[in-house]
Amino acid sequence: MKITRLYFALFSIAVITATGCSGGSSTPAGDQEITPNLNFYNWSYYIADQTIPEFQQEFDVRVRYDNYSSNNELLAKLQAGASGYDLIVPSDYMVQIMTQLNLLQPLRPENIPNLVNIDPRFRNLPFDPENTYSIPYQWGTTGLAINTRYVTGETDTWEILWDARYRGRISVLDDMRSGLVPALKRLGYSVNTRDENELRQARDLMIEQKPLVRTYSSETYMDLLKSGDIWIAQGWSGDIYQVSKENPDIVFVIPREGSYVWVDNLVIPNGARNRTTAEAFINFVLRADQSAAITNYTGYSSPNRAAFPLIRRELLEDPGMYPTDEVMQRLEFMVDVGTATSLYNRMWSEIKAR
């Protein structure tokens, strides 16, 4: 797998600008006690049913568990201050942004010995080159869910989102970075473009497509797919895997024009009151059995080498989850686009306002 190489190529510039901005810890020294509470904020549909109950039982901790459905929702919550969360799961480029904003505190490796289970190819990735703040949780790809009962013809292309036959049966991911991807890739541009003209063209294409869209969603689209209310959805690999278990007409495809791949990471925000407990939880989900249970349940891809023998074969052999090198060449990682973030914001608001 070429994941690390791809990363290094893409991130080499971004990292140079990101280093040097360290988020210092505000937690007092000597806090090595496991506290009785943990406030965990995670993506929706992104954990096994038994993970939290088993942790609570074993460590005698009460976990408050809340969900978000986009990196921007997570960032907004943190920036509003006093979120109370001890543990969050931002994607690669968002770890970069949060580090620069001094929102994270360093992890203490001595409290997370199971880090050795992480495949070396997923350690020291360019958005956090020393794993100072983050440890990979799960990774995956972004593509299209297709209901093969209703959708015919070529389906491995973003163009299908512009096919008027599917008016009202389409959903698109609801955030400014993901939601522009179908248009950027159709136009042959990078998901990390900072070029205003390219972003305007992408905006115009998404505005043209908007009359066909039933909903912009990064969470409820799963239920709409299951029930057959929508037939085509831009979505994430594991989400679609979960849906296909209940509705076998649904398949996941990575469009031939290319897409993006991401790694989500466990991190502790600055100001977290239950830092040691958060580290204990990180160490717990890095265990081979716990990590494999999460992967087997969510259908996402695992960065945990020790978990591999316990992961279901059908998942390991699914090219949507573990793309071939040839497909991988067409996938980009998102990076922090710096000042161009405001352009993405503007384009996305203009699409949504229509």
Which amino acid, residue 306? A
- Beta carbon of residue 112, minimum distance to ligand N2P (angstroms, whole number): 22
Closer Cβ to ligand N2P, 52 or 280, answer by number: 52
Per CB under 6 A, residues contacting ligand N2P are 43-46, 91, 236, 239, 262, 264
- Beta carbon of residue 175, minimum distance to ligand N2P (angstroms, whole number): 10
Please report which residue ranges of 177-287 form alpha helices under DSSP H.
181-186, 196-209, 221-227, 237-246, 275-285
SS3 string, 279-305, reads HHHHHHHCCHHHHHHHHHHHCCECCEH
DSSP-derived 3-state class of residue 65: strand
Find the residue with minimal CB distance to ligand N2P.
43
Closer Cβ to ligand N2P, 44 or 215, answer by number: 44
Burial class (CB in 10 A: 0-12, 13-18, 19+), 11: buried
- Beta carbon of residue 208, minimum distance to ligand N2P (angstroms, whole number): 26
Closer Cβ to ligand N2P, 239 or 332, answer by number: 239
Q: Which contiguous run of DSSP H or E holds residue 79?
A: helix 71-79
Closer Cβ to ligand N2P, 231 or 333, answer by number: 333
- Beta carbon of residue 301, minimum distance to ligand N2P (angstroms, whole number): 11
The radius of gyration of the chain's CA atoms, rounded to the nearest angstrom, is 20
For residue 283, how many other CB atoms are within 10 A of its CB?
Answer: 18
Closer Cβ to ligand N2P, 44 or 341, answer by number: 44
Relative orientation angle of helices 92-100 and 3-18, to the nearest 10 degrees: 20
Closer Cβ to ligand N2P, 61 or 173, answer by number: 173
CA dist., res. 268 & res. 276, Å (int): 10
Spatial CA neighbour of 118 closest among 1, 233, 288: 288
- Beta carbon of residue 46, minimum distance to ligand N2P (angstroms, whole number): 4
- Beta carbon of residue 264, minimum distance to ligand N2P (angstroms, whole number): 5
Q: Give the contacts of 234 (CB within 8 A, at least 6 positions apart).
A: 142, 143, 144, 161, 171, 172, 173, 178, 179, 181, 182
Closer Cβ to ligand N2P, 90 or 271, answer by number: 90
- Beta carbon of residue 167, minimum distance to ligand N2P (angstroms, whole number): 26
What own/partner pairs with CB < 8 Å and gap ≥ 24 does 195-201 have?
Answer: 196/343, 199/340, 199/343, 199/344, 199/347, 200/347
